[in-house]
Structures are given as structure tokens and as C-alpha cells.
Structure 1
Amino acid sequence: MESKTLPSSAAEHAELPVYNKLHASTLAIHGGHQANEHGALVTPLHQSATFAFDNAEQGGARFAGDQPGYIYTRLGNPTTAELERKMALLEGAEDAAATASGMAAVSSALLTHLQAGDHIVASNAIYGCSFALITTQLNRLGIRSTLVDFNNMPAVTAAIEPTTKVIFCETPVNPHLDVFDIRAIVAIAKQYDLVSIVDNTFMTPLLQQPLALGVDMVIHSATKYLNGHGDVIAGIVCGNREHMTRLKYEILKDFGGVISPHDAWLILRGMKTLDVRLQRHCDNAEQLAQYLQANQAIAKVFYPALSSHQGHRFIGRQMKRAGGVLAFELIGDLQHAIDFVNRLTLLTIAVSLGDAETLIQHPASMTHSPYTPQARAEAGISDNLLRISVGLEDINDIIADIEQALV
């Protein structure tokens, strides 16, 4: 089905002069919004699976691609379309697609460009389920992969084969926050005619815009900061019109990993406070990182805002701030780390990130458990590494809880 079966595209809205003059924090509130029949300030929730046609001729015309309009929510929905327009505007993309989960976004983006016989080069440090998708599920489909350290650009280049089609990474990296040079990755991709895909979940478009640096596709787990309240599972993919048309009307249409209108509506609501939430997340994370770095019970802190971190040089030229996630290694063994986590009373033991609550998890046994011990070692994920998604609580309360748990 052609893209013209849906109403006006994100690209058309991006070209409006009013949007070109607005800052990102304002776009997060107003971007993509359209007037509705009753003048509702809040975007209406179109909780409908299907859409009625005025007559049989109209239905046939929409299916043929000769008339714009909605058909079936798997093919498009007005509420979902507003979220897609907003994200395209924020990322500087021609279009965007909302998906049922962050992993649906990852798999849809990859399957848009890969088929049996192809090869992908990916970072050896990525989210555990992305790792499992690339190394196991894609392999079952005849798509091979090579995972390397993206801090080593010669190694990335050396991994490229004649059948390589995609280069994939996330930056900052989950869980130890390494920061990769997006411009260098783009240069390699262009040299070898590869599609570059970057997971921008940790940063959001308010802190980093990979497309502006030359990346072809950007992925978000909208579950995290975009929604911000821990009550939605969703994903977003942003890119040019050609790539997004194939993703929407072949991959998403046929595999079916589309977002529900209600979840899209919740994300739209959450994004109105994205900027103010992000600033508090970053402020708290910076103060917590400084506290942990000065604490003698901590072996190492991983946070790009610290001058000791390898990603510090990218602050201000690739990413505006370091985000709200940090990691650290305790002095001691695995049991020491487990005992520390179990003594916490305010911090919540849970995976995910970007919620109002401060969350702590143990990557080796939780989010990155799909890795083999050898793969975890190669990715720098030790048994005593802990990851914190720093929430919106008073920073003094967060620090006090950690302090009492370190005894």
C-alpha cells in the first residue's frame, strides 16, 4: 500500500514556517497537532480499529491509493499520526513510524533493509534483546552479523563484508554509557554504501539528533523518556520518506507490530513535559555521579558528564547533556552487589529507564542476561556493574538511600 493512502505526511508539516521557528521544547508540546472538529485542546483519542467509508467507491479509492484517508488502524490512525508527526519534527526526519514496543522499532528498522544472505555490523555493547535479535533471530532468517567495539573504528571497517547492508549501534551505550562518534560511523556507512541506524533512546531528540549528523534511521524505545511515566510499551522509528514508506507499508503492515492508539495518546501527553523532565533527570544524574565518584566504596563510575569518562569529549558537539542514566561498579564481587541492591529502600529494583522513579538493576543478570559470559566480558559488562535510571525525586533522598545501602 502506498504512503498516499494516509493523510498529509510529517514532511509537509515540517516545512511549515511556524515549526521551523520553534525550539525543540516547544515542538514537544505543539509539534504535529492539528485542529479537530470540536476544538479540543488535547489530542482526541481515536480508539477505533477500523474507519467507515462514505461509499464503496471511496473505500476502493483508499485501498488503491487514489484518495487519502484512514482505513484500518494497523495501516494508520489519526492519534498515532500526530505522534509520528511530532517525532519527525523533533528528529528532523521526513517521516516517523510508531510501533508496539522498542524492540518492534528495532526489528522493523532492521528488516526494512535486511534479507536472507545479508550481513550486519553492530556494536558489541547494545541492549540485551537487541543483541539476541541480531545474533539469534536474524541468524535464523539467514542474516549474519559481526559485533565489534565501536570505539575502534578500524575494527568496524574491518568487519564490513561484500554482503554487509547495515551498520547499527546505540549511543550512549546500554549499560556502561560509552559514547560512539556518530560522524565517524556515518563516514564509514557512506564510504561502503551502508544504511546507518542509531538507537537514540537514552538521549531523546532533545539531547541528540543523529539524523542531523548524517544517520539514515533513528530508533527510540518510546517506553522510556518520551512517555516518561512507566505505563506504556512503544517504539518510534524516524527516517526519510523512502525508508519509512517501506517500513510502514511492508514491514509494519505485514508483521503487525503497530502501536495502539491509546498508547500513542499517552505518549503525546507525556511528551508535553519531556523537556522539564529531562533537565531534572540530567541535573540529578550529574550530582549522583559526582557523589559516587567521590565514594571510596565505588570502584568506577560510568557517566559521560564526568571528565574521566571517554564520552565527555562529545558533550556539546554531539549530545547536549549526558542524560539521566549512569552505571557504576562496586568494590567487591557479585554477592556484594546483590546485597547492596537489596538494602535499598527508596530506589526501585526494576529494569527500564526514564520513569519518574529512580530505578536500579543488575545488567549481567537482568537486561543483558541474553549475552554469554564471554560476550558480556567483551562488552565490558562486569558482574559488579549496576545501572541506575535517575528519577525525579529530590537528589538528597536518592543519595541518602544509596549511602545507607553502602554500609
Structure 2
Amino acid sequence: MSKDAWGYQEPNRRPAPNWKVNPQTSQVRAGLTRTGFGETSEALFLNSGFTYSSAQEAEDSFTDEIDHFVYSRFGNPTVAMFENRLAELEGAELCVATGSGMAAMFASVACMVKAGDRVVATAAMFSSCHVVLTEFLPAWGVEVELVKGTDEKVWAQALSKPTKVVFIESPSNPLMEIVDIRMISDLAHKVGATVIVDNVMASPMMQRPLELGADVVMYSATKHLDGQGRVLAGAVLGSFGYMNEYFKPFFRHTGPSLSPFNAWVLLKSLETLDMRVERMANNAQKIAEFLAT
């Protein structure tokens, strides 16, 4: 076991999901921790802070010498259970939950770029993502190029010069345009770019971008992960390196946190994720076949 940047114990490497075990098991059991009361459902911790048995324990907690929750803006037991469950489903080393999908999108990119850096992105994307990339980032001195389609030559041209981040939506929201994540990731890594994929329309049940070469996955958990119109939420998943060096410091000090209550709702949502996504996909297929006749 090793500590992450906040002092929480994490495995040295989180393996990809073991699909020999029914994935529904992970949807219900992954990340589950119980208090001494032995509750059957995940406990809901609505408190903002945590107590310490001594001044020394408080000091050790603040300096990351021991594994102890400090402040719910950047660490909460209920939120951590949701993060760990989603990380196992995605096959990611770490997950950090956010208050909305746009909080996840903005933070995942903004934590890596500064004036003079360059971002390449798919042209087909959610409208608010488009505003962030084409209005906010350029105003702060970041160059942004949008690429249409899936032609490898076009992408190779766009990625022929130094690039800090490649942002992909596939399938895109709402047009459902699909790009070759593996091809783009291979090209991006040749110029040292970090590949971030918005996987909201597929979910980890249909597509796991990390297995296709991406470095980071982000979600609006408001969509399939909740799937029932109850909460706003987001999530960013990636390696220890990306999360600890870039994302967590940005997240901790800017505060786009997920409420523990929303995390608890999402834990219940994940229990039925595969059934809901499969049924939606089957229904969409039947509608498409009907419209094609």
C-alpha cells in the first residue's frame, strides 16, 4: 500500500476490472466500507470536518503522516466509496468526484494548461465544453484547435506540433459522433500530450477509454451513472501520476466538490448501471431499426 497526495491509503496499482467476476458484483460491492455499526447500506457522512483524539493526531493528519479524513471539501468517507467503486468499474488507479460534469471537464483540462500551451479537441462536443475550450481558455492565452471527423491524416496534422492536452468526446453529446480513441491517443502521445476522454455517453459498461490508450476519463455522472434525474455530479479518473501531480492540487484549492448526499445517491445508482445502459441501448437499436424501414 502507498499513500496518495492526501495521505489516504491506495493500492500501488489498481488493476483493470476482473470481469471473470460478474461486473454486477463490483457495482454493488466495490469500494464498500462499513463502520462499527455494521450498516447494510453505505453510511452517509454529511459532516464538513472530522475530529482527532489528540493534537498530535491532528498534526499528523494535516501533514499526511497518517490516513485520516480532514475536511469534506477534499475528502469524505461517503464520497470516497463512490470514487473507489467507479474507479474499479473504469479500471482506473484513482477517481475524484466533482459537483457536476462541467466541473470535472474544466478541472481536468485547466489543471494542466497555462498561457502558451496548446489544446487539440474534437469539434463535436457538448456546448458548454465548447465554450470552455473556445472562449475561456483562449482568453487565458491557451491555443485551441478543433478537429472535425476521424481522418487520421487530419489528426496527424493537428498533432504535428507540441500539444499539452487532447480532449475527446466519443460518442459526442448530443450528436453521437464517434472517433478512434486508440488512433488519436497514439498520435497524441508522440508529441507528449495527455489524452482526456469524456465518456459520458458510453459509460464504463460500454467503453473503457483507458484500455484504448487514453490517460484520463471524465464523466458527467448526472447522465448514465445516475440515470434517474436526481443529482448533479461529475468524476475524473486517471493514473496516480496525473491525479496527484495535476488534478488533486487544483481540485483541493478550487473546491468543485461533490456533496456526500449526492455521492450516496450515486452509489445506489451504480448498482443498476449495467441493466439501465443495456436496456437503453437495446431500445435505441429497436427505434433505429424501425426508422430505417
Q: By the TM > 0.5 criterion, same fold?
A: yes
Say whether 1:263 aligns with 2:262: yes
Structure-1 residue corresponding to 2:119? 120
Shift of 1:151: 1.0
Question: CA 1:13/1:163 → structure 2, altered by over 3 Å: closer, same or farther?
Answer: closer
Say whether 1:174 aligns with 2:169: no
Q: Deviations over 1:244-296 (max 9, x none)?
A: 123453111111101011111110011111111112111111111112222xx
Structure-2 residue corresponding to 1:137? 136
Aligned-partner residue type, residue 6 of structure 2: T
Shift of 1:26: 2.0
Structure-2 residue corresponding to 1:400? none
Question: CA 1:283/1:21 → structure 2, altered by over 3 Å: closer, same or farther?
Answer: closer
Say whether 1:42 aligns with 2:41: yes
Q: Which has the higher contact order (CA 8 A, sep 6+)?
A: 2
How many Å separate the matches in 1 of 2:252 and 2:80?
Answer: 15
Question: When the two structures are superposed, what TM-score results if normalisation uses the length of structure 1?
Answer: 0.68
Say whether 1:155 aligns with 2:171: no
Aligned-partner residue type, residue 62 of structure 1: S
How many Å separate the matches in 1 of 2:165 and 2:125?
Answer: 15
How many Å separate the matches in 2 of 1:190 and 1:248?
Answer: 19
Structure-2 residue corresponding to 1:61? 60
Asked if the contact 1:4/1:66 (under 8 Å) is kept, the reply is no
Shift of 1:36: 2.2
Asked if the contact 1:19/1:31 (under 8 Å) is kept, the reply is no
Aligned-partner residue type, residue 48 of structure 1: N
Question: CA 1:151/1:115 → structure 2, altered by over 3 Å: closer, same or farther?
Answer: same
How many Å separate the matches in 2 of 1:216 and 1:159?
Answer: 19
Question: CA 1:250/1:85 → structure 2, altered by over 3 Å: closer, same or farther?
Answer: same
How many Å separate the matches in 2 of 1:44 and 1:84?
Answer: 14
Which of 21-30 and 120-129 deviates more?
A: 21-30
How many Å separate the matches in 2 of 1:15 and 1:124?
Answer: 33
Structure-1 residue corresponding to 2:6? 5
Aligned-partner residue type, residue 36 of structure 1: T
Asked if the contact 1:5/1:69 (under 8 Å) is kept, the reply is no
How many Å separate the matches in 2 of 1:184 and 1:150?
Answer: 13
How many Å separate the matches in 2 of 1:162 and 1:221?
Answer: 30
Asked if the contact 2:28/2:270 (under 8 Å) is kept, the reply is yes
Say whether 1:254 aligns with 2:253: yes
Structure-2 residue corresponding to 1:274? 273
Structure-1 residue corresponding to 2:190? 191
How many Å separate the matches in 2 of 1:100 and 1:12?
Answer: 27
Asked if the contact 1:95/1:241 (under 8 Å) is kept, the reply is yes
Question: CA 1:186/1:161 → structure 2, altered by over 3 Å: closer, same or farther?
Answer: closer
Structure-2 residue corresponding to 1:87? 86
Aligned-partner residue type, residue 135 of structure 1: T
Asked if the contact 1:117/1:163 (under 8 Å) is kept, the reply is no
Question: CA 1:96/1:155 → structure 2, altered by over 3 Å: closer, same or farther?
Answer: same
Kindly tell me the number of residue pairs found equivalent between the two proteins. 291
Shift of 1:7: 3.0
Secondary structure at the residue paired with 1:169? strand
How many Å separate the matches in 1 of 2:18 and 2:29?
Answer: 9
Shift of 1:161: 5.9
Which of 122-131 and 137-146 deviates more?
A: 137-146
Aligned-partner residue type, residue 241 of structure 1: F
Q: Kindly, what percent of the aligned residue pairs are identical?
A: 32
The unaligned stretches of length 5 or more in structure 2 are none
Asked if the contact 2:162/2:191 (under 8 Å) is kept, the reply is no
How many Å separate the matches in 2 of 1:83 and 1:189?
Answer: 31
Aligned-partner residue type, residue 79 of structure 1: T
Structure-1 residue corresponding to 2:200? 201
Q: Calculate the aligned-residue CA RMSD, in Å.
A: 1.9
The unaligned stretches of length 5 or more in structure 1 are 295-407
Aligned-partner residue type, residue 273 of structure 1: T
